[in-house]
Amino acid sequence: MSSIYNANSGELLTMAVALSAALAQGQSQANLAKLGAFFTIVGDTLNLYALQPNQAGRAGTALSLADNL
């Protein structure tokens, strides 16, 4: 298998569908909603880091702030 960073859109789509199907096995509707929301946040955060690469180094600060919630 090629690196995920070198995969074309068809390969990425296939990997995403396969991962989604594996994660969904035996999960309730509520758990699926939580997983969907979690991966939406992950994707949105990665997109933000792509727009502002210098912010990626501040992830540790964000995590320590989240510990205080």
pTM metric for this prediction? 0.66
Give SS3 for 3.
coil
Find the domain containing 63 and state its range. 4-67
Below-50 pLDDT ranges, the chain: 1
Domain count, the chain: 1
Q: Give me the pLDDT at residue 55, please.
A: 72
Q: Give me the pLDDT at residue 56, please.
A: 65
Q: Give me the pLDDT at residue 11, please.
A: 92
Q: Give me the pLDDT at residue 1, please.
A: 47
Q: Give me the pLDDT at residue 64, please.
A: 63
Query: In degrees, to the nearest 5, what angle opens at C-alpha 64 toward C-alphas 69 and 59?
Result: 120
